[in-house]
Amino acid sequence: MAIEQFPVEASHILMFARSIGDPNPIYADRSYAEGTEVGGVIAPPTFVQASAQFDDEYPLRPKPGQPWFGSGKEPTGIKRESSGGGGGGGGLHAEQHYEYHQPLKAGEVLTATAKPGKTWEKEGRRAGKLVFSESIVEYRNPAGELVVTARGVGVRTERPVDS
Amino acid sequence: MALSSNDISIGQTFEQVLVEDLKRTQLVQYAGASGDYNPLHTDEVFAKEVAGYPTVFAHGMLTMGMTGKLLTDTLGDGMLVRYGGRFTSQVFPGDTLTAQATVESMDTEDGAAVVNLTVATSNQDGVVVFSGSATGRLDA
C-alpha cells in the first residue's frame, strides 16, 4: 500500500471523532482549537487508520463495477475459495501500534508508504492455525518529516473465533 | 490541561466508560469515517451466514479509537508519544466498554518528562478486549 496524497481535513476529523464518541472540541471547533497550545484542529490518535479512504487499492471498500463480498441477493457477492472463511473479510486485526513524531494537524497533506514486516504462525486454541503478518506504514509531511509511524499486525484464522 | 509529574504517582489509575450498550449504528458510523467497510462489521447477513459469527462485531480500531479518548483526556491534546496494543477479544453490539490506564513509570525521553501507562479496555463481563500501553509527555 502506498498513498500519494492523504489530505487531513477538518471535516473528516470531525466525522472520525464523532464515530469514536469523542466530543473533544480540539477535533471539531476551529476557534477553540486555535486558542490552545497545539494551535489548531488536530486529529485523534488513531485517525491515520482513515488513510484507507485515499488508498486506491484498499480491498475493504466496495468499488463500482467490481464484485463485493458483502450481502446482496445472496449472503455474499463472491464465492470464495475454500480458505476456511473464518476471517470472512480477509483476516482480522490483531495488533496496532503508533508512534507520534508530531501532532497531526488539519490542513496537512501526508504521504503513506508501507514496508512489509515479519510473518509468523501460531496454533490457536479457539480458531485453529493462526497466520500473523505485520506491516509498517510511515506517514510523512511534504517536508519529508515523519508525522506518525504505524505498525499493524493482521491475523488469518482457520475457523471463526468463538469468543 | 496537560498532566504534570506532580499530579501523578506510580500505580495511579485513570478510568472512563467509553460506551454503554454499543449500537450497530456506531459500527456503521465508524466504517464510514475510517473507510473500513468490511461487511463483518456492518452486514448481519454476511457476518452470520458466510463468516459464521453470531452477529456483526466492532472494528478493533473502533475500540482502540474509543480507548484513545481516555488517553487524550488524561494527558491533554497532542501529548501522546506512543500508543499501541493487542485486540484480545471481540466487541459485539450491546457491549459496555470501560478503559483503564495505569501509571507504570515516569521517565525522560529526548529531554522531556514522560509517563508510561498500561492500558486495558474491558467489557461488561470483565473480559479484556484491548490490552496495550501508551507513553505521553508531561508538563515540565
Whether this prediction's pTM lies above 0.90 is answered by yes
| A20·B49 Cβ contact <8 A | no
Query: Nearest-CA residue of chain B relative to A84?
Result: B51
Q: What is the pLDDT of residues B8-53, one digit of tens each?
A: 999 999 999 999 999 999 999 999 999 999 999 999 999 999 999 9
Domain parsing of chain B, residue ranges: 5-23+58-137
pLDDT at residue A158, as a whole number: 73
What's the CATH architecture for A2-157? Roll (3.10)
What value does the mean pLDDT take over residues B88-116?
Answer: 96
| A151·B33 Cβ contact <8 A | no
pLDDT at residue A40, as a whole number: 97
CATH topology of domain B5-23+58-137: Thiol Ester Dehydrase; Chain A (3.10.129)
Contacts of residue A154 in chain B, CB cutoff 8 Å?
none
DSSP state of A42: B
Residues B121 and B66: their CA atoms lie apart, in Å, by 9
Comparing B64 with A129, which gets the higher pLDDT? B64
Q: What is the DSSP string of B15-78?
A: EEEEESS--HHHHHHHHHHH----GGGT-HHIIIIIT--SS----HHHHHHHHHHHHHHHH-TT
What single letter denotes the amino acid at residue A33?
A
Given a cut of 70, the residues of chain A with pLDDT beneath it are 79-90, 161-163
Q: What is the mean pLDDT of chain B?
A: 96
Interface-testing mutation among A9, A56, A163, with chain B (most B C-beta atoms within 10 A) = A163
Write out residues 18-57 of B within 8 Å (CB-CB) of A: 18-19, 26, 29-30, 32-40, 43, 45-47, 49-53
Decide if pLDDT at B108 tops 50.
Answer: yes
What value does the mean pLDDT take over residues B63-80?
Answer: 97
Domain parsing of chain A, residue ranges: 2-157
Helix then strand then coil, % of chain A, to nearest 5? 15, 35, 50
- The band of B3, judged by pLDDT with boundaries at 50, 70 and 90, is confident
C-alpha cell at B97: 466498554
Whether this model's ipTM surpasses 0.90 comes out as yes
